[in-house]
Amino acid sequence: MKTTKSADAAAGVAESEREEMEERYERVVLSVLMGLGSLVECEPENENSQQYAAVDAFPDSSSVVRMMQSSRGSFRRETYNLVGKFCQFAPSLVLPPGNETERSSKLISLATLIPNLLASEKDPSNFVSLLELILTYVSLFRGRESAESTSNTNLWESMDPSAFTKALSKALRRACCGAPATYWGPMILPMVASLPQGEVEKGDKTDHPFPLVVVEGLWEGRKSAVGAMDTSAILSSVAECVTYLMLRRPKDSDTTFTTESWTACGQLFLDCLSYFLNEAPYSGFGPGASSLDELCTTIARDLIRLDAASFDDGTTDRGITQIQSFFWNHNGMQKTLLLAKRERQTNLKLIRLMSIIISLTPNAEQPSSHLLPSLKALFSEILVSSDARGNKSCTKEEVELILKIIQFCGAQTLFPIQKAIGVHPDTNQTSLSLEEFCVNNLIRWILIHATTAPAAIPTDFNIGKLLLLSIRPLHQQRQVWETILRELIKSFCDVSTLATGLCAMASDSDDIDLIRCRALDQFANELGNIFMDNFRRSHDLSHQPGDTDDPAVSYQGDMSLFFNSCVGIFDRKSILVSSSVIKQWVDLCCYESKSDRLILDDDEGSNSLLKALLLLGSSSENGVLTRDELVKLVIQSWVEGGKIWQQAVKNYHLTVESGNEERLLRDQIISAAALSLREDIRRKPPSDHAVMELTCQAWSKKAVRLLEISESGSLQSLGIDMDLCEKIRQRNDEEFLFLNLMYLLHSVDSYIRCRELLLSGSENQELFVNINSSIVDRENALLQPFQDRTQRNTQLIETLGGPSELTEYVQNCVVQCVDLLACHMKADKENDCDQILTALSYLVSLLFPSKWSSDSGCKDSIVAKDVKEGDTVWYEKAEGVRVKATIVKVHTDDFPNLYFTIKEENSPERQTVANRLRRNHVDSSEVRLNENTATSREYLGRYMIDHLVRPFVPTLHSQADLCVQHEVSAECINIVLSQIGMLSVGIGSVRYEIFQILSSVKSCFCEVIRNFDQHLEQASSVLRYMALAMGYGRFTKSSARGNLVDLKLSTDEMFTCLLDLYDDHSASLKERTAHMKSFHVSVAMWLAVATNEARGGDILRRLSGMISFMCDVLLSDQDGDSSMILMKAIIAFQVASKNCMDYSSVDSIHEKYVFQKITHCFVNILKTSTFWVETYASILKYYAKEVPGTALHAANIFSNDLYECLKFPMKRWCAFQLLMLHAKAFTTIISMEDVVIPSDTEVFLSEWKAGLDEEEATELEGDVRVAAAWLSGTMMTHIQDIGRCTSSSLTPESECYTLKLSEILVWMLFLEIFDNAGAVDMRNRSSISAFLQKTKATGAIMILSLQEADLDVGRKENIFECINPDFNSDLVLREVATLAVFRTIESLPTLVKSWFHDDCPRYSQQKLITFVENKVAPETLQRELVRIKDATSFGDMSVSGSAVSREVVATYQQDEVRFFQECITCIN
């Protein structure tokens, strides 16, 4: 190859051009070198030829040598590759054809060049190519040794082995200048194997043999390695080379390796092992970890080889056999292992090393291995170091290492262990047997690892299993295992730890018999009892944490893991407990408790024992559970529900699509579940309502779960049937049935499914009727409105989708309800008739919405006294036919019976009465009846008349024991008249039938009254029949405007008979017998529906006397039902009196007495209801507005009792309205000498006078006496109590500081009396103010009110509305407190100002100032101006004013001069 480079060919060439030329030159040279290599590779040399065919075309030797010595690294690297290919494909180019002295090759021999190349090469990227060249060249000679004479082809005759060894050792010491050792490391072993006999000379003495020198240089090269990967690769190469040297069989003439040399080789291997254990970094992942793992594998494999070679007695000339006493004993392997650092990484590397050794060893245990003494010593050293620690335990890594040692060595080899004691281990030793290790060290490790290193638990138990399996005989093996288990249980070992250990030990099915023992069975039984006790206790509503019945023994950990381990969930074939334990667990899970407060509904599936048993039963491989036990377990999962039930349905294929085999199991479960539901719903419900709700919710969930797996679920299959409804009505447990049913329906996924359950088919509809009758609220029926009594029914209907979705079912249900009621009436089952009757009325209201609105009479009817000439009205010619008319004249000649002349359009004038006049063209409250509903109405009306009315009409000779049937018959007439309606007319129609029946009853009544003394019971029954038929609505829906209007039945004769009876038999009617009281109640019921039709002042006056007479009888025992009926009669009387022109309630003594008696009942009655109070409030509102004197009369009598009523929320509004009437009208008529100061106030007065002089004390006593003249004793006591609550500077947290609405209301009443007293005499204000100042009530009430008041009210907001009699809502504390602040500032400005400066909290001052400016000042001025305008005591002086301009102008006249006085008020 001729290449010339012109020296400075162009001096003026630019630097860029020079660089380009340099690159071009390099590419050309490299291309030539690679091309020659490709040529040789494509055209290899013939094996029989002595010379390469195209040898003359190749460059000369000097060119190749120059390229190999070039300063360019790329040239050298490519030349190395080229020469390497020469050695491989054209060896004649590098080898002479004859002897060394007769070589005639063009290329010089590489033998003299290689040592120089090794010594001169410094480029890391070239070392791999160079070493490959050398290895190829060496292999070329080794291949020719077998084919030719050694004398002609011996490499080392032409190459100086000493120089080569030194050069190679030097390069390796430098780690090949940083070249990747993973590439060049594997090349070292072949080179070492190729080195000849001989030693490297250093001065006058010889040193180590050539291979050892190379290996030592390689070992030193670890210090120059670039990273952990290179270091691991170097150590792997060292270990392989040393192992090779110690294992090869040396030739007879080889005497270069002495004992010292073999010892050095062995030490190098031990150094590699020591470096691997102590210095090599171990991360467990990444490239470094893989290289370290390769090193570990190399060391393990070489150790196995060396161990096997050490037993070969026929090869004593091997190096390992010569140094095995050193290599395997105290100064060698033992020392290396024992001096290894006891760190986590070291232990992990030892574990990995032992794992590889075990995997590469044919037999698991090597009783004759040379590693045994070292591993036994290591095992002993680990135990000693663990005992020296504070907790006397091993780490997780040490435990794993011990397991590997036991697996390799065997327990019998390791035990007994000689443990060193103290400082001198050679003199002080103790022996540790295998059994002692198990019951001492191992148990201690397990207990400690349970809390510090849970991951070590499986290893601990695996160690125990290996040790136990080595114990003989078997009974001793079982004894040791039970001892371990009992000690762990006795130490309250974590249950999760035991479970994990058992799983680890049961990993091999051959070892199951070792684990099963009596101790494990006993513990499993105990743990099952504890778990189920805790589980039931957690679901017992009566249990509280810390109760005395809590278990004294409690184990920590995951019990589910233990149960799963015992029944073999992790290995279905490995059941660790006996069958008796399994059966005991089944009994524990399926124990039936009769406690009402134990609700096992468990959505989370926390019953781990049941879950484990169900999983065990789902395995077809074991026959531990019988079919009956399996059914019991599945039923228990059905009871608990949640995740456990879902898993059971899945595992046992309990869905509707299940196969024949699963169907049998499903049918058994459905049958048992249905029986359980039936028993549960028939059980007496819990008395605690909250517990009952939870019980019903749990029952409904179970019912839904049953419906999910049954093909045709129905309510009957869930235990809800006619018998249950009968029992519910007898026990009055309607709330229990209702809650169960509602929770069930709410759990169903759709309205359609709900309706299928309740309304599909006649049988379900009959049950639906029974359910509706059973859930009616029958308690205090007369004290509740119909809507409240049927509230449950309404909720049930809404759950089914609402009335609009049930139209197609309801008519059949009404018929079913009629039949059910008729059946009960005929069978004399009187106790249930009221609920069934209410259900019938409710079902009819669903089918036909209410025919009349509650205020239809007020909107459509006309009161005679309100009609004026010129009014436009509607004249009713016939029923449903109205024409427009104008009032022409009002006639009063028959006063008070007014009549009118009207003029219709295009018709002559006519005269009529108010009953024929209406306000509207069409009655807006009446439902238009279309033909579809007309047919249904006619059918149902006729059906009820035939089945419920006609057979039970009372007569003069009716039996007394049929009173219930009579009342039901009458209320059915009310349903027909007020809810169904009457469409047909004429003979045979429903209207005609009812009219005939009621006419006969009316005649019967008049006959009975004429012979009252003989027919008292019949009189009561017949009159009640008429009242109920005319719409009183005791158990049915009341008629809104009375059925008398629709039926046009005259009641004059009945009124006359009753009034005459009460006028003539007053003495006998006062008897307190039950029959007489029943008669008075019947009269009151009749008056409640018929008084509206009473006409004329004379009749009303007689009626007021009759009602007054009945009050003495009906209200004597404070009976809520009787008083309720009487109040309805009073309300009807109020309506009639308001519409009557010749009757006035103002001067009625009877009405005052009646309201007094009703108020007395209101004050003293204990058993009452909201409806009762609302009815009383309606009477109160009427009298407070229309006849205030009547209400004031009762308020004055019961004022003290009414103060107590303020403490009861239900009575508070009525009591306050009465007391406000009393306060506004109160005036004192007692002289100061007759005033008696209350005893409580006398005590306080004595305290107040202490420290005052005689004159001041006398003045104070006079002020208190004035206060006592205006304030009652009860009022003064309340005022003193208010002041006493905060007079001791109490904080809001104090117990006696109470926020009572009643106290603020009392204060409001006091302010009214205070203003009245000031209006009578201004001196009263100062006297009462002095009393207030002493009680400190002003400040107390201000603080009390400010805490609850909302002072951010608008200027136009009416704060007085909250106590207005027309304000329908209850009194609200926030609103009343705001008004109290206003009234206190308005009435007591001086006291409030003093309190504001002295005691008002700072956080309230600004809000109070703003409230005064924005609300109190303008509102007070406005109120004062109104009082001025309304005043009548100014005489000739007139006063006017404006709240806007704040001006007050007074005009008066003196003689003939008129004067004006103008005053402008300030803001504050």
> pLDDT digit string (tens) for 338-370?
887 778 888 888 889 999 988 888 664 445 788
Residues 6+ apart with CB under 8 A from 48: none
**Which of 273-277, 847-851, 872-876, 1088-1092 reaches the highest mean pLDDT?**
273-277
Which tens digits make up the pLDDT trace of 1329-1340?
999 888 888 988
Q: What is the reported pLDDT for 932?
A: 63
**Which residue type occupies 155?**
L
Q: Kindly state the average pLDDT of the residues 54-74.
A: 77
For residue 14, count other CB atoms closer than 10 A to its CB.
9
Most confident range, picked from 223-227, 270-274, 470-474, 865-869: 270-274
- 1012 SS3 class: coil
Which token pair is 440? 């001492």
Indicate if the pLDDT at residue 960 is higher than 70: no
> Averaged over 516-545, what is the pLDDT?
86
Q: How many CA atoms lie within 13 A of 386 on its CB side?
A: 24
What is the Cβ-side half-sphere exposure of residue 1263, based on CA atoms within 13 angstroms?
A: 22
pLDDT band at 302 (very low <50, low <70, confident <90, very high): very high
C-beta separation of 186 from 241 below 8 A: no
pLDDT of residue 549: 55
Mean pLDDT value across residues 1189-1197: 90
Q: In the chain, what are the helix, strand and coil shares in percent, each to the nearest 5?
A: 65, 5, 30
Residues facing 1440 on adjacent strands: 1449
**pLDDT exceeding 70 applies to what percent of the chain?**
84
User: How is residue 59 written in tokens?
Assistant: 């460059």
774-804 per-position pLDDT tens digit: 899 877 777 788 888 898 999 999 988 888 8
- The answer to whether 859 and 920 have CB atoms below 8 angstroms apart is yes
24-43: burial string, b at 16+ Cβ within 10 Å, e else: eeeeebbebbeebbebbeee
Confidence (pLDDT) at 522:
93
For residue range 362-398, list pLDDT tens digits in order: 664 445 788 888 888 888 888 888 888 877 888 888 8
What pLDDT, on a 0 to 100 scale, did the predictor assign at position 543?
64
What are the CA-CA distances from residue 335 to residues 267, 354, 375, 821, 1395 (Å)? 11, 17, 11, 104, 96
Computed on alpha carbons and rounded to an integer, the radius of gyration of the chain in Å comes to 57
CB 806 within 8 A of CB 1059: no
Mean pLDDT along residues 1147-1170: 85
Q: Is the pLDDT of residue 429 over 60?
A: no
Angstrom distance (rounded) from CA 1186 to CA 1151: 12
The Cα 465–Cα 468 span in angstroms is: 5
- pLDDT confidence bin for 219, thresholds 50/70/90: very high
pLDDT of residue 843: 92
Highest mean pLDDT among 371-385, 1065-1079, 1342-1356, 1409-1423: 371-385
The answer to whether the CB of 677 falls within 8 A of the CB of 703 is yes
pLDDT tops 50 at residue 579 = yes
Here the contacts of 96-101 (C-beta below 8 Å, separation 24 or greater) are 97/50, 97/51, 98/152, 99/152, 100/157, 100/158
Token pair for 889: 């004249």
Identify the CA nearest to 373 among candidates 341, 340, 418.
418
Q: For residue 245, what are its two tokens?
A: 């040297």
Nearest to 394 by CA among 337, 460, 348, 492: 460
Specify the pLDDT at position 1297. 34
Query: What's the half-sphere exposure (Cβ side, CA atoms, 13 Å) at 1249?
Result: 18
CA dihedral 99, 104, 106, 108 (to 10 degrees): 40
Q: Is it the case that residue 414 has pLDDT exceeding 70?
A: yes
Predicted confidence at residue 415, as pLDDT, reads 84
Cα–Cα distance measured from residue 387 to residue 394, given in angstroms and rounded to the nearest whole number: 8
1024 has pLDDT over 60: yes
Which residue from 1348, 1421, 1356, 1335 is spatially nearest to 1379, judged by alpha carbons? Answer: 1348
Whether residue 1287 is predicted with pLDDT greater than 50 in this model: the reply is no
In angstroms, the CA 1118 to CA 1120 distance is 6
SS3 1041: coil
Instruction: Place 423 in a pLDDT band, splitting at 50, 70 and 90.
Output: very low
Distance CA 864, CA 894 (A): 13
pLDDT at residue number 1295: 37
Query: What are 1411-1449's pLDDT values in tens digits?
Result: 888 888 888 877 777 776 666 555 566 666 555 455 666
- Mean pLDDT across the stretch 745-751? 85
Q: How far is residue 597 from each of residues 329, 550, 719, 743, 754, measured CA to CA in Å?
A: 74, 17, 21, 18, 29
Residue 173, pLDDT score: 92
Residue 3's pLDDT band (boundaries 50, 70, 90)? very low
Main-chain phi, psi angles of 877, to 5 degrees: -70, -45
Beta bridge partners of 881: 878
Quote the pLDDT of residue 924.
46
pLDDT, tens digit, for every residue of 592-618?
Answer: 776 666 777 777 778 899 999 998 888
pLDDT at 1086 over 70: yes
Give the pLDDT band (50/70/90) at residue 1292.
very low
Residue 680: CA count within 13 A, CB half-sphere:
26
Residue corresponding to tokens 């005053």: 1463
pLDDT tens, residue by residue, 1101-1113: 888 888 888 888 8
Residue in the structure block whose two tokens are 């409640």? 1088
Residue 923 to residues 710, 757, 857, 860, 1132: CA-CA distances in angstroms?
A: 53, 40, 10, 7, 22
Q: Both ends of the chain: CA-CA distance in Å?
A: 123
Using DSSP, state whether 361 is helix, strand or coil.
coil
Query: Which pLDDT does position 664 carry in this prediction?
Result: 84
* CA-to-CA separations, 848 to 144, 804, 928, 945, in angstroms, rounded: 120, 11, 11, 17
| Best-predicted range by mean pLDDT (268-272, 512-516, 786-790) | 268-272
Cis peptide before 473 (omega within 30 of 0): yes
Among 968, 1026, 975, CA closest to 834? 968
**Residue 413, SS3 per DSSP:** helix
Return the structure tokens found at 505.
């030990």
CA-closest candidate to residue 723, choices 846, 1387, 715: 715
Q: pLDDT of 868-899, one tens digit each? A: 888 888 888 766 578 888 888 888 877 667 88
User: How many other β-carbons are positioned within 10 Å of the β-carbon of residue 1232?
Assistant: 11
The H or E element spanning position 74 is helix 73-89
